[in-house]
Amino acid sequence: MQAELKLVERELNIRNYSPKTIKSYLYGLKEYFNFKKQNFRNLDQEDIKNFLLACQNKKVSPPTRNLFLNAIKFYYRDVIKINQKIDIRTAKKNKKLPVVLSRQEIKQILEVTNNSKHRLLLSLAYGAGLRVSEAVNLRTADINLEELTIHVKQAKGQKDRISVLPQKLVNDLKNLTAGKSKIDFVFTSERGGQLTTRTAQKVFENSLKKSGIRKAATFHSLRHSFATHLLENGVDVRYVQELLGHQNIRTTQLYTQVTNPILKNIKSPF
């Protein structure tokens, strides 16, 4: 098994897949190999279907099952070089609306965040629509305080994009990055190293709890709120798509269901 996983890891690295994707693919293939037990190179679609069914029975989410399937396809197509088509459709994803915080709720969360660096972290994630990984990977050179832009580098899908920087955060960012070199991380841990994504998520969780807001929000809800509030302000959905770095506009259009003013103005007949 290890020999096969090493081959997959090498091919993923050659193709410049992100460390997160590599880790996920290797995990998925390890689960598949453990299920298959032997003859890993023998492509049997019934084996794959039974594996995915076993994952479903274990309550593995549809997105994770789809990731496992993509990893299996990559193994047979790009590593073992088997041309046989794997004719298995991906699992249907649950269409849940994103959890969005109101402007007042964002304000409440920031007000109870006493640590100034933590408050700036959450403010910037909301104000620029950053994913948690993008926020902790931000370096001082990525921020243009004069042009009020942020260069988000090697984000999801290994893509760069430009997002907006709120004017009201300029002075706080100047103070935080004073004396730092261009390659230094904007947000660091107490020991001086890079802030971890889990620490950033914990910061949000603690502030959410202190605020008393009962929504099932996560750090990513700051990004959801950024998109929704831009649409409420009348910004064209195509520009919001660019700021978020969405490949497909349908992903961005999901926020229009949350912010539809016509629906919100309808009164119940009860």
Q: Which residues are annotated as catalytic?
A: 131, 156, 220, 223, 246, 255
Whole-angstrom Cα distance, residue 92 to residue 219?
25
Whole-angstrom Cα distance, residue 92 to residue 88?
12
- Residue 147 has phi, psi (to 5 degrees) of -90, -5
Q: Name residue 236's amino acid.
A: D
Residues 6+ apart with CB under 8 A from 136: 185, 187, 194, 195, 196, 197, 199, 200
CA angle 75, 79, 82 (to 5 degrees): 80
How far, CA to CA in Å, does 235 sit from each of 148, 228, 239? 17, 10, 7
